[in-house]
Structure 1
């Protein structure tokens, strides 16, 4: 939709069919709605600027004159971005905002614009997301997975657990190199002295120092912000350095593509490809300056990537036939945990063999269960990673108590880990992955009850005062799933005893299961084969573990 039409709409210059045309268009055009928001933000920003001016008209004329005088050499089509840049700088000069991106600088105006927009269009259900779950769920978003002569400052040592998990706070590395893996799968190699904040599962803020980011395809969009620059990955490896005194920032692209833009002022993004580098100084209106590439000077590995020797369970269900299901894992305490499809209980039905996601699998009818015992010393509040492929028929029915795909502990006990799909429309996204313990739960957003194969990973960090709301992560199809609902509850230290698939009763789990893994660890990287049937999950798991 043309900006001129939106401008006329905001100015109440349209009526009748023209007004209705724009309203209908905005309902169906996301880019048009964004343009509407942008015009509202700029309008409200000018109102903020004018609000404390004795001579409002003179001030407004001065702004327009500045726009005209500084835009003489502006390329066609860049006028809106340039206007945004100039207004941003004026806001900064008047100390209305400091080192913030445009939406933050005019957040008061953006709120007013959003309220006006909702009142005019009645599109609240279209553009406003439900209230997000508690921010505490993002408490642990990254983990130290390797180090080389790393020396942390005193405060940082307290924020890093013995198993490497970092609370969502800033850490300071005095010297050496540390490998940090974010929940998205992105890895950074931080070189001391440096200060880094883990803000989100796919975003960090480098206040000073140097880092190299390795970003796999599943973590594309990984962001490193600095005082002067924002760097967005588009599937690549790149290095960032920040001067501790001036905040001057450099970006060097080693592989792939990144998008870099200033944190304020001239925030027009620049796309950089392999072998290119730019520098951002303190002059916010200046362009990013090309510099000589020096990507080979950044650390891209560490000497000590510590691995765990703890075993794990693995059922591939790929036997040629018969009732025996072999444990192909690397041996939990107590030996192998082989299973059989022949039930010792005449009142207990078991699933049958069926084609799976990769080779053979199992198919469950309501009431059928498969149970394996677990080591005696495995407790409910200890770390674990449970992953498997599953296919749930669309329009699946039942209750939360009956439809668990997997249960750690006895299913009839309220305080046991239950993995299912969500049927409670009042708490999170219907059909999404739901993991509960007693009255606590976490619900994702990806629908897994659509009749398609999905890879599911449940990772629990465990430890003292471990809570469902803060220590549990969900992955679907190899990606960290967003959370639509959280019900926190602390996990007690109680023996697990067994792992059960399926549930008894006429509304039990109905669907397919394949490639089950259970690690007595909170793996740094989720187990996911993707489209490759030859991938070795065991090898990838061993390379991503840290010792507790």
Structure 2
């Protein structure tokens, strides 16, 4: 789009004459160009000043707000009257506008946020100032949430719950760019026209409550719970359709919009007071039931695969209530939860009791998920905890990403209960290794890091972490499953396991200690 075309489209947007066909093109330009957004803000302020002049010069003594996008939408097919009178006053108003920029400090706060406990986020403003704990965004501000959940409150009347990992930029007080994340939006009547621009979609609210899922390795989705939205693909075929309540769609790689089942349970609608986690306690009548604060917990199913005689697992006394013990029939347990993908922070923790001084002669997977490529993996597409035993009857725990893995030294093959925890922070160490920490019985474990010599690093020397939960051959979270080849099956050993936690966050050493002592990362209640 040429500079003249851009300026024309902005003027048409502001005076309400921009056609619906040209709307996505302008939103794309504002999405991808800092200069375009600056030009929009400039024209919007002038336009707002002109409107204030029509209401009385007294309005010029107050801070000047940027015109809201919802007002633009309401006036889309209406043209302002009194162009001539406003044009005659334009030079005067421009002078006053310059004086106001000099003497008045703007107090615009189009978006404020609250964060749940343990949330890790950073805000960068258009002037490149970075404020890690500031709770206000202005047009051009960028919010990156590495872990946890934030509540967004727009001055226009929109409320949103945004789950990590997430990356958004506030374009105007009524539109955002969402590069990554899972978000629920509740749009008030006065904010009708609120828009979300993702990598592959333009989403315009028509008075509704809806959710958006945008994960780097997956296909983007829109779920409508109330009202309706206009959804348009941005690339290739550029399909467009209007979704109403209880409808949802997923954009394909060729730009078509495919209908899917609406899933409200995948979205949070209130700010949680805890970090998101999945939990298997093995207590109660349904020993395999999943609980937790993660949105997927309530609808996750867990079942035994390749059962031999129905007695593949049995309830035994655990560290906290009941535990689950394998009977060695080579059955395994599988959930329908995909796990935590890409390089997002995570913590895996569980109790395990191994038969004393038994030599398994091999490494066994205990808990894991992702895309498995075999013993000589050159990727980091998986994430699983393992047990490795030795000829002397000792056993150690470790965690593997595939082509990179770490192993500990503490013997856990003594017939006693031990608490195992593995933490990936989502970051890298100075030597380029993924920042992974392991703990045994609440204490930091001395670990040995290993990497397949043929694993390709990033240009900066970092080992990539690409847990693949999107491929059709990716495996969901499973327990005691052999996943290294196509002969997926269980293991012929008989460990007992209890209190499995998977956190979508990197727990601190203190929180791991709490989990070990009290079975809750928050400590004694």
Report the TM-score range of the alignment, normalised by the length of the smaller protein: 0.3 to 0.5
| TM-score calculated relative to the size of structure 1 | 0.37
Name whichever structure is richer in helix by fraction. Answer: 1
